[in-house]
Amino acid sequence: MARITDEMIENKIKTLNSMFGFKGRKLKRNKDGKLKITGSGFGLYQASGRMGLVFEKKGSTGEIDVSPMLNKPQLYDYISVMINSISYYKKRTKLK
């Protein structure tokens, strides 16, 4: 298998966001200097050499863990399975 890069994982996350109609997570600084989430969507969390898929909703105060902390190939496969499952479900149920 080819080496999995951060860019490849980010592209999978963009695909996942587009499937749900999210524009992606965006952070904006308030006047008081604090960061505020201005968009909903899936994102990447990295810590201690591992990565995880998280979801943030506009106006919320935290993230929801979607996946456990995994290495890059595992996370890439995890997101790919999510995308394939959602595509299959939409085809079978005729959802748009």
Evaluate if residue 6 carries a pLDDT over 70.
yes
d(CA 17, CA 80): 13
* 3-state helix/strand/coil string of 44-63: EEEECCEEEEEEECCCCCCE
User: 96 pLDDT band (50/70/90 cuts)?
Assistant: low
Evaluate if residue 95 carries a pLDDT over 70.
no
d(CA 88, CA 96): 12
Backbone angles phi, psi at 2, to 5 degrees: -70, 160
User: 8 pLDDT band (50/70/90 cuts)?
Assistant: very high
For residue range 71-94, list pLDDT tens digits in order: 999 999 999 999 999 999 988 887
The better pLDDT of the pair 96, 44 is held by 44
